[in-house]
Structure 1
């Protein structure tokens, strides 16, 4: 094994870059790149049913297509910071964004399934570069005065696209055609390429990093996380441990992660040394990030799924609620976050954001089967405040407690939380809802047994309503209606349990915040917060 180069510490590569002479264009590139990636992922999730129809795919084929589109992001994202440090952000985003645009233009015309999957894999690999690379623009190429506004824009796009993607996807499907879920990227990606070439300075290739590259660590980490992602993504569809595919991917991914840790201990110049995580505040911050990701599922999954399953609303109808009461207010809450973070301790801002999520989840435990769009407005406004205050504060705390020159290694773990945490949250919540619905169905079913007077009266009343239309099947239709009412109520109770779980997760995150110490002095830390 080669020895570390004398001008570089052995724990991980140093992150540094030339300052941009056109920071406005660099910030615009940050916005375009992150919004493009976030919108694409959200549109694919929301519009999957329409995409299956457009490509004439079955349910299983659609499920694997979704995994093929999203899993490659996990494979490449942790290594993006190292690639940017080695090759420079311009090389990493310029030509790849044009290739991405070409693939997005081509996909709607493809009908061969294997080719369709291959193009989505390639597209996912390119998409996985955009978000972490644009974050690196902030850390490596912008002066310190631009950091907080640019970080706020970076954080803003996540919740904004999550809550406006349904409305945009509905507009494409209903008005322009499902193809525009891809073609929008063919228009936007070249714009990002232009902004990158104008706003990001040209940098030399770091040949020293190439010579001593920890290729094995990057491959083991990315491949291990990808296999775990595939297992989680397919878990609910294939019934978890009952599926050999799920067991194999989860076990194989775990084995590769263990091999990665061993590699990092033995390699003379590890790519993502765990030393960057060895501080109290960083470990607590990572725990808070995971809990925040799980808590925010109350907005990204529970609200739209309830309105879909119980309210029988299409995504574009739900999108009107999420856009009006989460996405738009998020603009003001993000500005408020920047204002507060320049003046008070980020831990206070983080507490306010998590408290908003906890209160929203607590309000949602009063859920009933008749709740529709307007009933969700108070809690979605609180969720908007939670998104706007929490995510920006988490990033500021992370950067305030980490050495920005070591952002290459630190970013690898942040990308794991950004992508992997969201998938873990979705998988766990979907499993929780399924189990709780089964439990409540069993418990309610015990009170709806044949022969009870109240049940007979309900069945008779329902049969009398159906009799004028079809007397012969009126009794069977009455029984079917009663069964559907029981199932609906079981689903409502399951969603209440889901919101209760999010409430306790938010309280757990607040407990971790209470143990955080004041950050060391730095450009993102107000002086008054150091006391």
Structure 2
């Protein structure tokens, strides 16, 4: 989710030597292009993650090797996602997005034809580098090309785009595998990205620019450090964190490059980065809201699908049917939320959306092993509405804060603000995923150990349970001994299922606690002076 593509000055606060020529392009076509790009980037990442088991089976790739495919894609996205924000201040979105979209199309088309694992990994890195530019330039272009009275509806359209795609990805991947082939995990982007390119050509104007005066080395160090640290977080749980030489190497290299970035900043500061601009209470608190929102969103994209897959053994298509139907109500609600924000307070809408999401997570924390997809549906609808409200309230609050803080007064302020928010979206989101994944694993082990204290060999309760299970397995067994062995296996699976269910419940409670803590932090926000109602009246 992608919540902070906020402000930069592509059209309003560019360097003085950059004078755009008269344009015959249609900005609304350009807005459709960047929305399509953001949706395709989200969909491609989700399809790859959801479809990884099917991809592994089709290509005969080991579990360890396959796990690096989405990691490599997202590391590449991280690398280009923040860097391109600053590059955009000089080159403009057209000069970046056209070649990036062409590269993404070619890589996505060629991926199913990769002759081996190494080539597929390389193509995914190329695709990730290209798609990383799509997110980062979406709201930048929208905010600088929409009339002020329509900005809130641009934010609503962006929210509708992202949440709709996020919800249908699982269903779409399951349908592809059952009715077409795994190739469409990649070919979906190859099919629709050329449409995006046509819209870019006719919707985003050219810009005459000087060459960027960026500190290339500093940005390269910083981007590489983020990518390596992201990879360490993504693979940490699987490789047992610092007990793995690979994780240690990635962390050390990432921290070293981050240190090199700081040294470079001290020795040769980049004039297009104004870090002091970020040192305000409101900016920091609102940036934290991106992490909290993405962490809450994990309830729908990690905890619920994980429970249905591990406990009820749902296939992606079945999980998709459970989750995708709420996309349409969410799509309708975002426009109502946008209208409310015009006449209300975006921060209040953000707080209300987070509160609704926390209540839903609390209700889901009562999960047990008998729950199926239908058990989540009613609360899922309420959760999706809260999520939509929180998303629009979040982006709206960040946009208003950018305007009030003076992000449009200089290219350095705009690029710094936008880059920082993208950093929180990309890296902060992965911190949440790693934290929740590790928490679930630790809690599952804890509950398994606690349950094991009551499932002891020789205990009359355990023996009674085994005899009942053995009686059910006896007709399919060659004798009593085999039936008892099967009963012991089934009992072990039942203990594991119960432990995983309790860990999932703990995960929902953790999300509730994080939201409550952030809502208390929101009380420290200084009152805003700009509203969308006032903004809509500006010429």
TM-score by length of 1: 0.92
CA contact (8 A) 2:45 2:70 kept: no
- Residue 526 of structure 1 deviates from its aligned partner by 4.6
The question of 1:280 aligning with 2:289 is answered no
Secondary structure of 1:467's partner? Answer: helix
Q: Which runs of 5+ in 2 are unaligned?
A: 1-8
Counterpart in the other structure of 2:525: 516
Structure-to-structure mapping, 1:201-280, within 5 angstroms = 201-207=205-211, 210=212, 212-280=213-281
1:488-499 alignment runs, 5 A limit: 488-499=497-508
Alignment equivalent of 2:447, drawn from 415, 437, 440:
440
| Matches of 1:132 and 1:383, distance apart in 2 | 27
Within the alignment, does 1:481 sit opposite 2:490 as a pair?
Answer: yes
Q: What is the aligned partner in structure 1 of residue 383 from structure 2?
A: 383
2:373 maps to: 373
Partner of 1:124: 128
Change (3 A) 1:149 1:515: same
Separation (CA, whole Å) in 2 of partners of 1:281 and 1:265:
26
Match of 1:423 in 2: 430
- Whether the 8 Å CA contact 1:20–1:142 is kept in 2: the answer is no
Q: Secondary structure at the match of 1:410?
A: helix
Q: Is the 8 A contact 1:459 1:482 kept in 2?
A: yes
Task: Give me the whole-angstrom Cα distance separating, in 2, the residues matched to 1:331 and 1:145.
Answer: 21
Partner of 1:162: 166
Q: Distance in 2 between matches of 1:206 and 1:253?
A: 32
Match of 1:343 in 2: 343
Give the structure 1 partner of residue 142 of structure 2.
138
What are the Cα deviations for residues 397-417 of structure 1, in whole angstroms up to 9, with x where unaligned? 112112342322212111112
Distance apart, 1:254 and its partner CA: 2.4
Residue 299 of structure 1 corresponds to: 300
Name the CA distance, whole Å, in 1 between partners of 2:334 and 2:366.
Answer: 28
**Counterpart residue number, 1:152:** 156
Q: RMSD in angstroms over aligned alpha carbons? A: 2.1
Q: Deviations over 1:29-62 (max 9, x none)?
A: 1221111100000000000111122332111111
Inter-partner Cα distance in structure 1 for 2:488 and 2:475: 16
Give the distance between the partners of 2:273 and 2:295, measured in 1 at CA: 25
Partner of 2:328: 328
Q: Aligned runs of 1:34-113 on 2, under 5 Å? A: 34-113=38-117
The one of 189, 195, 211 aligned to 2:193: 189
Residues 380 and 105 from structure 1, CA distance in 2 versus in 1: closer, same or farther, beyond 3 angstroms? same
Q: Which residue of 2 aligns with 1:4?
A: none
Provide the C-alpha distance between the structure 2 equivalents of 1:27 and 1:439, rounded to a whole number of angstroms: 49
Is 1:180 aligned to residue 187 of structure 2?
A: no
Task: Say which SS state the counterpart of residue 468 (structure 1) adopts.
Answer: helix
Residue equivalent to 1:356: 356
1:93-118 deviation per Cα after TM superposition (whole angstroms, max 9, x unaligned): 11321222122111111122222111
2:14 and 2:90 in contact (8 A); partners too: no
The Cα of 1:157 is off from its aligned counterpart by 2.8
* Aligned partner of residue 182 in structure 2, secondary structure: coil
- Once the two structures are superposed, residues 404-457 of structure 1 have per-residue CA deviations (whole angstroms, 9 ceiling, x without a partner) of 423222121111121212211111111111110110011011011122222111
Q: Secondary structure at the residue paired with 2:68? A: helix
Say how many residue pairs are matched: 513
2:325 is paired with a residue of what secondary structure? helix
Q: Is the 8 A contact 2:15 2:90 kept in 1?
A: no
1:23 to 1:404, Cα distance in 2 relative to 1, 3 A:
farther
Q: Distance in 1 between matches of 2:281 and 2:19?
A: 28
Q: Secondary structure at the match of 1:517?
A: coil
Alpha-carbon separation, structure 2, partners of 1:314 and 1:40: 19
Deviations 1:457-507 (A, max 9, x none): 111111122122212401111111111111111111000100000110111
Contact 2:146–2:154 (8 Å) recurs in 1: no
Contact 1:217 1:271 in 2 (8 A): no
Q: 1: CA distance between counterparts of 2:387 and 2:455?
A: 42
Once the two structures are TM-superposed, the CA of residue 286 in structure 1 deviates from its matched residue by: 1.2
Q: Which segment drifts farther, 390-399 or 225-234?
A: 390-399
Please report how far the alpha carbon of residue 520 of structure 1 lies from its aligned counterpart in structure 2 after TM superposition: 2.8
Residues 367 and 17 (structure 1), Cα distance of their counterparts in 2 relative to 1, 3 Å cut: farther
Deviation at 1:338, TM superposition (A): 0.7
Question: How many Å apart are 1:342 and its aligned residue?
Answer: 0.8
Q: Secondary structure at the match of 1:296?
A: helix
For the structure 1 residues 262 and 151, does the alpha-carbon distance in structure 2 shift closer, same or farther, using more than 3 Å as the test? farther
